[in-house]
């Protein structure tokens, strides 16, 4: 990634121009940086937060000066958008990964008159300016630390939403979370909010295990310790198995282990990106006899306009301290920030602009 000067057209129709103050770096940005097919060069970034500078003529809810968190984009008109499940928008690809506006393949970004690919997740927020839409911008109070709020728009709502929306974890029940990056750690905090009785974090990184215990995990297991059988440990600390499991790793052998430790009628949520072509080996009769459910989850089944304000309320109450996951970097150090999450030293880097 390199920092360069480009030009921006004014926002049109339902678009808004946002002066970005902070953007989280999400694993998905790095997957696209590393060759997942999008037109290049492109402005990535999809966890932006900033101040509205101007609005298009059809915008009615937002005005210049508003503080906003940007989330993923969606059409607003398909059956899933109408049901309040915009992450499963029938046109999600066009609206988030095509590198351009879905209607006419244009973008608001250019250099020397040549169009620059953008509109990534309807924002392309690795930039001092982002052109987003009223639909994927969530207004927040002005007294909040705006530069830290961007990750609520993707990684944090994914983990928290998996627990509070998708699995709807019940008080007193048991949950295991495999992997405690941003998504897994947000799931741990949300499980505490849901008053789960047993919250097990499975994580090889010692510092992350310690933080998971501080943020709500009742137990933390190191899966790389060579003297343990992971499934046996999970059954031991949960008293026989767990009602819910969340995988954030995308690793097939971990997912198979997650299925194995579920109690009858248990639910598994899949949140991790697996390697291309990865497959699962599952005993189907075993699944049926135990009534196991498996759900692949995008963006925590969140409707960001409703769920992000809920997470901010929990944060204000002191019950969702997501800022503990964040380390900030100057914008010019965006490559160092990306490296810090890839080598595991930082959970959620945020570049401050
Ligand atoms: Zn839609
Ligand atoms: Zn993301």
Question: What's the pLDDT tens digit per position in 205-233?
Answer: 999 999 999 999 999 999 998 788 999 99
- Residues 167 and 71: beta-carbon distance below 8 Å: no
Share of the chain above pLDDT 90, in %: 97
Q: 54-87: per-residue pLDDT in tens?
A: 999 999 999 999 999 999 999 999 999 999 999 9
The CA 29 to ligand 1 mean position distance, Å, reads 22
With respect to residue 311, please indicate whether it lies within any of the assigned structural domains. Answer: no
Token pair, residue 143, equals 């007294």
Same domain, yes or no: 104 and 135: yes
With respect to residue 88, please indicate whether it lies within any of the assigned structural domains. Answer: yes
Find the radius of gyration of the CA atoms of the chain: 20
Residues with CB under 5 A from ligand 2 (ion): 26, 28, 154
With respect to residue 36, please indicate whether it lies within any of the assigned structural domains. Answer: yes
What is the reported pLDDT for 35? 82
With respect to residue 309, please indicate whether it lies within any of the assigned structural domains. Answer: no
Same domain, yes or no: 121 and 17: yes
With respect to residue 334, please indicate whether it lies within any of the assigned structural domains. Answer: yes
What is the reported pLDDT for 102? 93
Same domain, yes or no: 282 and 190: yes
How far is the C-alpha of 279 from the C-alpha of 254, rounded, in Å? 12
Residues with CB under 5 A from ligand 1 (ion): 74-75, 78, 81, 89
How far is the C-alpha of 180 from the C-alpha of 159, rounded, in Å? 10
The CA 200 to ligand 2 mean position distance, Å, reads 24
The CA 137 to ligand 2 mean position distance, Å, reads 15
Q: For residue 24, what are the β-bridge partners?
A: 350
- Residues 212 and 224: beta-carbon distance below 8 Å: no
Same domain, yes or no: 278 and 177: yes
- Residues 93 and 36: beta-carbon distance below 8 Å: no
Same domain, yes or no: 273 and 338: no
Average pLDDT of the segment spanning 92-98: 95
Average pLDDT of the segment spanning 126-130: 98
Token pair, residue 68, equals 């906003």
Same domain, yes or no: 163 and 233: yes
Same domain, yes or no: 173 and 218: yes
What is the reported pLDDT for 227? 80
Q: For residue 352, what are the β-bridge partners?
A: 22, 330
Same domain, yes or no: 251 and 339: no
- Please say if the pLDDT value at position 276 is more than 90: no
Tell me how far the alpha carbon of residue 32 is from its chain's centroid.
15
Helices 206-215 and 182-193: angle between axes, nearest 10 degrees: 20
Which of the four pLDDT bands, split at 50, 70 and 90, describes residue 337?
very high
**3 state SS for 71-136:** CCCCCCCCHHHHCCCHHHCCCHHHHHCCCCCCCCCCCCEEECCEECECCHHHCCCCCCEEEEEHHH
Ligand number with the minimum distance to the CA of 23:
2
Q: 254-274: per-residue pLDDT in tens?
A: 999 999 999 999 999 999 999
Q: 151-192: per-residue pLDDT in tens?
A: 999 999 999 999 999 999 999 999 999 999 999 999 999 999
Edge-first strand listing for the sheet containing 109-111: 7-8, 109-111, 114-115
Same domain, yes or no: 282 and 331: no
What is the reported pLDDT for 225? 87
Same domain, yes or no: 129 and 186: no
The CA 229 to ligand 2 mean position distance, Å, reads 32
With respect to residue 1, please indicate whether it lies within any of the assigned structural domains. Answer: no
Ligand number with the minimum distance to the CA of 47:
2
Q: Which of 260, 283, 298 is the last residue of a domain?
A: 298
With respect to residue 316, please indicate whether it lies within any of the assigned structural domains. Answer: no
The CA 322 to ligand 1 mean position distance, Å, reads 29
The CA 76 to ligand 1 mean position distance, Å, reads 5
The CA 307 to ligand 2 mean position distance, Å, reads 16
Ligand number with the minimum distance to the CA of 150:
2
With respect to residue 138, please indicate whether it lies within any of the assigned structural domains. Answer: yes
Count of the separate structural domains present in the chain: 2
Residue 24's CATH number? 3.90.180.10
Same domain, yes or no: 167 and 39: no
- Please say if the pLDDT value at position 38 is more than 90: no
Same domain, yes or no: 17 and 134: yes
Give the mean pLDDT of the chain: 96
The domain of 258 spans 158-298
The CA 349 to ligand 2 mean position distance, Å, reads 12
């Amino acid at each position: 990634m390199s920092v360069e000067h480009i030009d921006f057209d004014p926002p049109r129709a339902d678009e808004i121009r946002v002066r970005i103050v902070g953007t989280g770096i999400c694993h998905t940005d790095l997957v696209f940086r590393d060759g997942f097919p999008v037109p290049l060069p492109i402005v990535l970034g999809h966890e932006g937060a900033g101040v509205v500078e101007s609005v298009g003529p059809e915008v009615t809810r937002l005005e210049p000066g508003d503080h906003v968190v940007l989330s993923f984009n969606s059409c607003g008109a398909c059956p899933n958008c109408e049901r309040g499940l915009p992450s499963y928008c029938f046109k999600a690809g066009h609206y988030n990964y095509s590198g351009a506006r879905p209607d006419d393949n244009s973008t608001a970004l250019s250099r020397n008159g040549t169009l620059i690919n953008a509109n990534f997740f309807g924002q392309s927020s690795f930039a001092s300016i982002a052109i987003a839409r009223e639909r994927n911008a969530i207004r927040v109070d002005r007294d909040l630390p705006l530069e830290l709020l961007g990750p609520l728009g993707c990684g944090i709502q994914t983990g928290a939403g998996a627990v509070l929306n998708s699995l709807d974890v019940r008080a007193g029940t048991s949950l295991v979370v495999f992997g405690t990056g941003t998504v897994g750690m947000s799931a741990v905090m949300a499980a505490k909010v849901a008053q789960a009785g047993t919250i097990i974090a499975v994580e090889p990184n010692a510092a992350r295990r310690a933080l998971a215990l501080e943020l709500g995990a009742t137990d933390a297991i190191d899966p790389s310790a060579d003297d343990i059988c992971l499934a046996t440990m999970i059954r031991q600390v949960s008293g026989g198995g767990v009602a819910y499991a969340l995988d954030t790793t995308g690793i097939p052998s971990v997912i198979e282990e997650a299925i194995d430790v579920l109690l009858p009628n248990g639910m598994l949520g899949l949140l991790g990106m697996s390697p291309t072509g990865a497959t699962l080996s599952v005993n189907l009769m075993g699944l049926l006899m135990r009534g196991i459910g498996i759900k692949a989850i995008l963006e925590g089944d969140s409707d960001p306009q409703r769920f992000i304000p809920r997470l901010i309320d929990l944060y204000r109450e002191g019950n969702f301290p997501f800022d503990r996951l964040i380390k900030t970097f100057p914008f010019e150090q965006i490559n160092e920030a990306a490296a810090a999450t890839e080598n595991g030293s930082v959970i959620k880097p945020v570049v401050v602009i």
